[in-house]
Structure 1
C-alpha cells in the first residue's frame, strides 16, 4: 500500500472527488461524494470533508462532523461518510481514514466517535466493528449507531 494522506477539497480536486465511485454493491449503503460535499457546504461549521490520496491517486473520501453542542449525543463527533474507490478497496485506505478521523477527534478533545450504518448483506457494519466500534442499541432512522470510546 502506498502511504495514504488526507487532502482538503479544493477547486483543483473537487471534480475528481465527485467522480469517485464505490463498488456497485455498496451504492445503496453510502451517499455519493457529490452529495456529501453538498451536505458539507450547507453544514460547513461542523463538516470535516477530506480526500484520501495514495501518491497522486485519489483513492477515497472521508467526512466527519464535529459538533460538540449538538443535542443528539451521537452527532457530536461523528464519522459521517466513508467512500473508498472500488478498485482501491481492501488495501487499508478505509482503516487509514477512520484512524485519521479518530486522531482529529482526539485533537478536538472528543470522548468518543460514532458511526452509523444500514444493516444488510453488503453493510459496512462488520468493517466498523473490526475497528472497535460497538453498537449502542440506538437507531438513527433505519441505521445502527455504534460508538468507539477514545
Structure 2
C-alpha cells in the first residue's frame, strides 16, 4: 500500500469529489464537496485538505484544522481532525489507519502535542475506530459530538 496525501487541484478535484462513504455511513461524515465548502466558509478554522491516494488512485479525503491560534471561538485545535473519509469501495483495507499514521507524523513534526477529533456518537459510528487507534474521550462535547484526544507528546 503506497498511501500518500496529495494536494487537491483542478486536475484531481472531480475524482476526489466523487469519493463517497457507504450509504449507511453518510450521517457520520460530510461529503468531500461539503467539506471543501466548509473550508471556504470557515477560514478561521485554518482548514488543510488533502486527497488520500494509493498509487495513482484517489481512495479518500482528509481535512484538519491546522495550527489554529488560541482564542478563536468555536474552533477546536490547534490541530483538529475535521474530516476523514475513505471511499466505501476501499474500506476495510487499512487506509484509515494509514492516513492517521501520516497525519500524526505531519502534525507531530509541526510541533503538535495532541490531535483532537470528534465523531457522531452512534454505536455503528467511527468512535471505536478512533479509540482503537489511541484517541481517548476528553469529556467535552462539540456540536453534539464527543471530542477525542490523541496524545502526541511521546515519541512514536
Separation (CA, whole Å) in 2 of partners of 1:29 and 1:45: 20
**Counterpart for residue 86 of structure 2:** 84
Deviates most, 123-132 or 62-71: 62-71
**Counterpart for residue 20 of structure 2:** 21
TM-score normalized with structure 2 length: 0.89
Structure 1 SS opposite 2:76: helix
Give the number of aligned pairs: 149
Runs of 4+ in 1 over 6 A off after TM superposition: none
Separation (CA, whole Å) in 2 of partners of 1:87 and 1:68: 33
Separation (CA, whole Å) in 1 of partners of 2:47 and 2:5: 15
TM-score normalized with structure 1 length: 0.92
**Counterpart for residue 10 of structure 1:** 9
**Counterpart for residue 110 of structure 1:** 112
Alignment deviations for residues 82-110 of structure 1 (CA, whole Å, 9 cap, x no partner): 01000100111111111122112112111
Separation (CA, whole Å) in 1 of partners of 2:70 and 2:107: 15
Structure 2 SS opposite 1:37: helix
Q: Return the offset for 1:116.
A: 0.1
Give me the CA root mean square deviation: 1.6
Aligned runs of 1:94-133 on 2, under 5 Å? 94-133=96-135
Separation (CA, whole Å) in 2 of partners of 1:45 and 1:21: 24
Alignment deviations for residues 92-147 of structure 1 (CA, whole Å, 9 cap, x no partner): 11111111221121121111000000111321000000000000000002100000
**Counterpart for residue 36 of structure 2:** 37
